[in-house]
Structure 1
């Protein structure tokens, strides 16, 4: 018996290899690693939480907010950015 294929539909998906919660949403580096502006982990690169509960490296969110195109919003949900606290 021979089988003849009349049509074939492919589907694909992708995911990050690590949990999204472990990465900075801007630089995609781990929270315990350094951001692209730092040379060593812990070089005054603390984590910053927003009221929207998203977390970023301090240097990453500073650069993001300094950009003229984003209007001072969170890069993840586009709500107005407001810092809750910073941890070192």
Structure 2
């Protein structure tokens, strides 16, 4: 008996290495979802952690830091926002 596979559909699942209940402090979307600027989740918008312990989507925190009212402060705790070195 010979079997020939004509087509197949691969399915994959991924998630960020973050707690499942964590959400971006700016857009309030879970990290498994997408920020408002992205169509698909993934490496184009990674999660950035601040030294203060708060996490944000890359696009969200970049937009926040560029606003004049942010003054370079974390939107959650208002400490000077510095990225945590990996």
Unmatched 5+ stretches in structure 2: 1-20
The alignment status of 1:35 with 2:22, answered yes or no, reads no
Q: Which residue of 2 aligns with 1:72?
A: 72
Larger Rg: 1
Bigger RCO of structures 1 and 2 (CA < 8 A, at least 6 apart): 1
Tell me how large the CA RMSD over aligned residues is: 1.7
Partner of 2:48, secondary structure, is strand
Structure (1 or 2) with the greater strand fraction: 1
Runs of 4+ in 1 over 4 A off after TM superposition: none
| Cα 1:28–1:48 shift into 2, 3 Å | same
TM-score normalized by structure 1?
0.70
Report the Cα distance in structure 1 between the residues aligned to 2:35 and 2:59, rounded to whole angstroms.
7
Aligned length: 67
